[in-house]
């Protein structure tokens, strides 16, 4: 009887995991895929969607594209909020080098740009830089983390 219950439990768990794996809205996969590959579920989301979200959820204004090279990202964009510029960068976590960079930023809470240290926050494949000195820092963090 115990053996049958164990087999049933394992089968049920596998069924639930496989079912959840198919519920992703992005082609990179779900949280399940993310767990095993290290690629965030939002990896296929373009930076434009993040910027639109930030602009609609805050009183910010679009600023300009940011050069992704200095932070080894794929793309970048910035907004003005409360008179301060805040930068956002997109990394492609399917690329080993970019995934390592994301891990470094997540672990250390900063990114170095031309030798200068900037506080940085990670949400999946996205990084927010230069938010610490913004008067609306708490709003920025909340909106960025909700994305």
Q: Return the structure tokens found at 72.
A: 């080894």
End-to-end distance of the chain based on CA atoms, in angstroms?
A: 47
CATH 3.30.200 in the chain is located at: 47-146
Counting as low any pLDDT under 70, the low residues of the chain are 1-38
- Our CA angle for 18, 23, 24, nearest 5°, is 120
pTM (2 d.p.): 0.74
Quote the strand ranges of the chain, DSSP E.
61-65, 75-81, 84-90, 110-113, 116-123, 126-129
Residue-wise burial string across 48-61, b where 16 or more C-beta atoms lie within 10 A, e elsewhere = eebbeebeeebebe
pLDDT computed for residue 2 by the predictor = 57
pLDDT computed for residue 70 by the predictor = 93
CATH class of the region 47-146:
alpha beta
Task: Give the chain's length.
Answer: 147
């Amino acid at each position: 009887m115990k053996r049958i219950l164990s087999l049933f439990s394992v089968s049920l768990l596998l069924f639930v995991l496989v079912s959840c794996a198919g519920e992703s809205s992005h082609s990179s996969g779900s949280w399940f895929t993310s767990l095993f590959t290290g690629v965030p579920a939002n990896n296929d989301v373009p930076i434009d969607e993040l910027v639109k979200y930030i602009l609609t959820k805050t009183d910010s204004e679009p600023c300009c594209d940011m050069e992704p090279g200095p932070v080894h990202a794929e793309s970048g964009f910035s907004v003005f909020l409360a008179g301060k510029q805040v930068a956002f960068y997109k990394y492609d976590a399917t690329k080993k080098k970019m995934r390592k960079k994301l891990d470094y930023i997540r672990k250390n809470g900063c990114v170095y740009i031309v030798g200068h240290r900037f506080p940085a926050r990670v949400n999946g494949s996205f990084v927010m830089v230069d938010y610490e000195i913004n008067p609306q820092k708490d709003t920025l963090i909340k909106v960025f983390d909700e994305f």
